[in-house]
Structure 1
Amino acid sequence: MSTVTEEAVRSALSSVEDPELNRPITDLGMVKSVTVNGDEVAVEIYLTIAGCPMKSTLTDRTREATESVDGVTKATVTTDVMTDEQRRELRLKVRGSTTEPVIPFAQPDSTTRVYAVASGKGGVGKSSVTVNLATALAARGLNVGIVDADIYGHSVPHLMGSTALPNQVDDMIIPPQSHGVKLISIGHFLEGNSPVIWRGPMLHRAIQQFLSDVFWGDLDVLLLDLPPGTGDVAISVAQLVPNAELLIVTTPQAAAAEVAERAGSISQQTRQRIGGVIENMAAMVLPDGTVMDVFGSGGGQHVADRLSEITGSPVPLMASIPLDPDLRVGGDVGNPIAVSQPDSPAGVALGALADKLVTRRQSLAGRPLNLGVTRN
């Protein structure tokens, strides 16, 4: 006689996580039914939407978990679709009952490290640095997200090789993933290559929604790819996520360094911390091992030195990433060099930058430690 029980099957299913929500399907109410017939088991699970892109992943993982139960010789998995009410209940389980938009990364108890990647001017490779840094951090086991805050010049989905679109569960947006990184961009909501023609208040609202309406889960690091300059979006990010640290991207060229210095100086008005300077397109390593300073040299260190003087706090040059044609190729095909060629000169520099951010200690300044100490 079979010893397979529904309880044993449901226990095994608790190991199956929804790949978008990162919670067990048993906790999310996604297991509709479990039917045991001798040594054969039929499981029906709920999908959040009819065209769920994770359907195959969910059914495969559910089948594997069911077949892992002692005594099960055959597992059949079918699917159904949640009703509007069930989706609403799911959203309440993962986001709570609050109706006001809340930015989790701006809360005092948030442990997510937020970095706003900024530049003084366009064309310095800021977005390329962002996606390569994100994928390098994810490859090191961190949970990473990217907000493509460059509304007019959005490029993150292309650079990440992502064609998937976000899903919506009630009023909660589930971001797509690529190379182990969650991402959201205005490009996900546009038809084709349509331009965005918005004024400041609409830009602010878009960034706010990306931060509050998207379900990011428990991120270790969130990167915001800012537009160049010190305009509306940079100010909005400073207001919405005041704990975000600035990473200033420049090239070695003197003219670019001068403009990058202005981008970093915004911290004096916004009271943001500058995490460091990243010099991109530095000396190019030629096939024979020699190097060529295509865009000059010293710009990154100059910006770091000047920002240290302006802010009165040390601002390090965190990385000098060599000019590498393969980095450009990786962006064109959506395969970042940090993970596709980690041993290349640019890949090594990006990996070293990721290691620096991984090992940075979380500041406890201003945080309640709950040590139970009382005053007499």
Structure 2
Amino acid sequence: MLDALVIGAGPSGSNISSLLASSGLKVRFIDVKERIGIPNHCSGLVEKRVVDMVGEDLVLSRPSVADIITPAGSFSLESEKMYVLDRVALDRKLADIAVASGAILTIRATLLNFRVTDSYVRAQIKSAEGFETVDSRFIIGADGPTSTVRRNLGISPPKLLRSVQFDIKGKSSKVKIVMDRSLTPDFFAWEIPSDGEIEVGASGAGSMETVIKMTKGVDIVRKRGGLIPIGPTVLGRDRCFLVGDAAGTNKATTGGGLYGALISGLMLYRAIIGNGDVLQNYRKLWFSSFGSEVLKSYRIRTIIDKFERNYRLWVPLIRSNIKGINRVGDVDYPSKAFLYMLGAMPLRFPLAFKDIVSA
């Protein structure tokens, strides 16, 4: 019998597989894809702390400026902590580390269903070798925003935003964020530079039309798409646990999910090898490490959805506090900059503050 059957070999699945296997547990992780990391759905924009977790060798570029463009004007945020990672190489590296740690990887394998008992989980999987029954102490869903594990547990899926990304040839040292409700009413559009290419993307309603407009007249290297889960976070039930996109650990403010994917796996690992109820401990560890930031992001997203319509109010606010925002800004913890900005509102921008607190 396995100690853990992990569904999915993306960053969250490979990370938890590696951690558990390196502790001597018997782990098998499976993935529906034939080639790990392909297709890639993620932009790979992260903070230094993620680079410290996965390695400098995966860095493609280091943007130093983020230009924010709105109908009421533009402003620039500076940061020495932004990195763009090679997401395909990242997925493969983490999977290789998991295998080297002793985890067994099966590709082109699909979870069909599973049944939970008092002492184990019995799963039915289908691979190139045929149908197979696998018994394990735990099953871990790391199978993305449309998680089969989450669905089989009867847990509603997270809110999903569809994203579209076109990669074009080009070089830049800047990230560009376009916040315009007439283009993307649900979210925003972006340009993120990597190694000789620029990813042009958008999410939510109007994303395809927006990206086509932003890349008009430019040679397109490749076209990609994906789903961004925007909560609520659900970590599991009984002997079944969820990590990463399957759990809905993305920030609702930016849609970023890589740091949450890695941290959720780390916290689940600590809960499994520790003492006491695994799920209860996992919830506590998650909330104390990064879950509180994800919860803040839901509230902030609600405020942004209302406040973003009043560009004439918040663009001057940000411009007047740009030095402080640059100082506290953090890709993984965007609430720091938002709360800093909120603290400056009541006296200097009473109308903006009134608009926010009534959201």
Please say whether Structure 1 and Structure 2 have the same fold, judged by a TM-score greater than 0.5.
Answer: no
The two structures have a TM-score, normalised by structure 2, of 0.29
The two structures have a TM-score, normalised by structure 1, of 0.28
More strand by share: 2
